[in-house]
Structures are given as structure tokens and as C-alpha cells.
């Protein structure tokens, strides 16, 4: 607002602005007493008035939204959304991350929107468009169970179901390595079932039994890697990995509904060792 003069009463004092012109509200002006001694602070003065010089809204502004994979804006997965919004009109966009994902970064016209980061759903809005707006949003996988646990594997169940867990002794990380169901009680045993000499070679057989094989993922193979460890004595020292014993899930699966593998060590000269199997 700016002072527009008095109402033709020349004896009335001019309106005084308290700060730099223009003012934003009545409080920015000092209303002196009129010639008749009357004044109405906070309301229209008896003898003076203001003129609103706010520019009239005109034209349209461009609202742009760009997202990365694993999320939606306004229910759409398209990378780019654009819309022309009338100046002064409200605007809003709903952002939603896919299951097992969260908003990782959110900027609006280059400025960070920290309250959106880490959420599954965020409503961006403005009461009145006053210029072009460009939002950029990326989504990241949750790391509740560590980077080693595949999001593709977790996506077979809801976040709530996995968080609720089951009653067995295996954590989600263990269930991933074994490729078992983290929402159902699992019984699993990994053991060395046989150590034998065959034609001068040492054979060490390892077997894994699981009662909740997740056959719908990775053909039911374990997601971890089987390795064999050994030590010379149970009274001193520790187990150390036997070189060259890393076995993938596909190699470990015997194709008959179980997981079994026999290691063959040719020409072993020291048979007096202890062995154990580990999935990592």
C-alpha cells in the first residue's frame, strides 16, 4: 500500500509512513489526528485513505516435477510432469515412494525440502503460484536390514510383515542368506555330514536342510556363499577359511530338493583336521 492523499480536506495532515514505502499493512503507517480531532487507528481514517498497489495477478506459471525410479508423483511413474497454473492459484503434488523405498532427496527451485526426506509420502503444496516452480525428487531403498539384503528379495513381503517377524532364531539377514521366509518360523541346519578318504583323496560333504525354502526367488538357491573352514585343534587357534572352497547357491543346490556339496581335496597329507561349513 502507499499513501494516496487525503479526502479533499486540505486542513488534514498528510499520512506518514513509518518505514520505507510501500507499506504492507495499516500498521506500517502513522495516522495523525485530523483537523476535527478524530482518528480511527487500525481502521479507515476519517479523512485519509490508502490505495492497494499490489500488482494484479496475470498470466500463468509453469509447474514442473521430475522424479527418479521407484516412486510416483500424483499417482504417475512418468519421469516428467508439467502443468500451467494460473498466477495466484494454489497448486499441489503428491509424492509417493514404492514399497521398501523412501524419498532420498527433494529440491524445489534448487532449495532443499528437508521435511520430505526419509518419508514414504509427501504432499508438496503452495497456496498461490507466484512464479515458475521446478521440483526434483529421487527415491532410495530402505537400509533397515543393511545393504547386503536385496530389496528385490524383501519386496516379496510387506514392510509390516517383515518388521513383525516370526518366532524362529534367524534374523532377516540370516533369512536372506538362507533364502527362507522371514515371516514364517524356519528350521534350518547346516552341517558337515561326512569326512571320508576316497581313492587317496579327502572328501568333505556339507548339507543344508531348510523347511521354508523360498523357491519363488533365485530358484530356491541360497543367496549367500558357502565356504569351508578348518582348524588343527579344538583346544587352540581358530577356524580359517580353506582356500578355493567358495560355493554359490546354484552350485550348492543338489537339484533334488536339498542343498548338498562334497569338497574333494586331492593328496591331502594331514588328515587330522576339524572342519565346519559357513554361509556368509
Across the range 23-38, mean pLDDT stands at 56
9, part of any domain: yes
Same-domain status, 239 and 190: yes
Same-domain status, 129 and 210: no
Same-domain status, 126 and 174: no
Same-domain status, 113 and 214: no
Same-domain status, 219 and 111: no
Same-domain status, 92 and 171: no
CB burial of 88-106 (b: ≥16 within 10 Å; e: otherwise) equals eeebebebbbbebbbbbeb
Same-domain status, 129 and 238: no
Across the range 153-179, mean pLDDT stands at 92
Quote the mean pLDDT of the chain: 83
pLDDT for res 12 = 44
Alpha helices in the chain (DSSP H): 151-154, 159-164, 172-178, 249-252
Same-domain status, 105 and 17: no
Question: What are the strands of the beta sheet with 60-67, ordered from one edge?
Answer: 80-86, 60-67, 133-141, 101-108, 111-112
Q: What total of structural domains would you count in the chain? A: 3
195 and 204 Cβ atoms separated by less than 8 Å: yes
50, part of any domain: yes
Residue 215 scores a pLDDT above 60: yes
Same-domain status, 182 and 218: yes
1, part of any domain: yes
Residue 182 scores a pLDDT above 60: yes
DSSP state of 33: P
Same-domain status, 50 and 65: no
Domain that holds residue 203: 151-279
Residue 133 to residue 126: CA distance in whole angstroms: 10
Kindly report the CATH number assigned to the domain that includes residue 255. 2.60.40
At 156, is the pLDDT very low, low, confident or very high (cuts 50, 70, 90)?
very high
- Name the more confident of 39 and 151: 151
Across the range 114-125, mean pLDDT stands at 98
Same-domain status, 160 and 66: no
Across the range 41-65, mean pLDDT stands at 63
Residue 113 scores a pLDDT above 60: yes
Residue 271 scores a pLDDT above 50: yes
146, part of any domain: no
Same-domain status, 102 and 212: no
Amino acid at each position: 500500500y502507499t499513501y494516496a492523499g487525503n479526502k479533499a480536506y486540505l486542513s488534514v495532515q498528510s499520512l506518514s509512513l513509518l518505514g520505507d514505502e510501500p507499506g504492507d499493512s495499516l500498521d506500517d503507517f502513522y495516522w495523525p489526528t485530523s483537523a476535527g480531532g478524530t482518528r480511527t487507528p487500525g481502521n479507515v481514517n476519517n479523512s485519509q485513505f490508502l490505495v492497494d498497489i499490489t500488482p494484479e495477478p496475470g498470466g500463468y506459471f509453469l509447474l514442473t516435477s521430475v522424479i527418479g525410479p521407484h516412486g510416483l508423483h500424483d499417482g504417475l511413474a512418468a519421469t516428467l510432469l508439467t502443468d500451467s497454473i494460473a498466477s495466484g492459484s494454489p497448486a499441489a503434488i503428491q509424492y509417493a515412494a514404492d514399497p521398501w523405498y523412501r524419498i532420498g532427496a527433494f529440491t524445489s527451485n534448487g532449495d532443499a525440502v528437508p521435511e520430505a526426506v526419509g518419508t514414504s509420502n509427501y504432499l508438496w503444496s503452495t497456496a498461490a503460484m507466484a512464479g515458475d516452480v521446478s521440483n526434483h525428487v529421487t527415491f532410495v531403498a530402505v537400509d533397515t536390514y543393511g545393504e547386503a539384503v536385496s530389496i528385490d528379495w524383501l519386496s516379496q513381503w510387506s514392510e509390516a510383515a517383515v518388521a513383525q517377524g516370526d518366532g524362529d532364531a534367524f534374523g532377516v539377514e540370516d533369512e536372506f542368506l538362507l533364502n527362507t521366509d522371514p515371516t514364517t518360523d524356519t528350521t534350518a541346519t547346516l552341517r558337515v555330514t561326512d569326512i571320508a578318504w576316497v581313492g587317496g583323496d579327502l572328501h568333505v560333504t556339507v548339507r543344508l536342510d531348510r523347511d521354508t525354502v523360498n523357491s519363488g526367488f533365485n530358484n530356491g538357491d541360497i543367496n549367500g556363499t558357502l565356504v569351508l573352514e578348518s582348524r588343527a585343534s579344538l583346544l587352540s587357534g581358530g577356524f580359517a577359511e580353506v582356500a578355493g572352497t567358495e560355493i554359490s547357491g546354484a552350485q550348492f543346490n543338489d537339484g533334488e530338493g536339498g542343498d548338498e556339496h562334497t569338497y574333494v581335496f586331492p593328496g591331502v597329507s594331514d588328515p587330522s583336521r576339524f572342519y565346519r561349513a559357513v554361509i556368509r
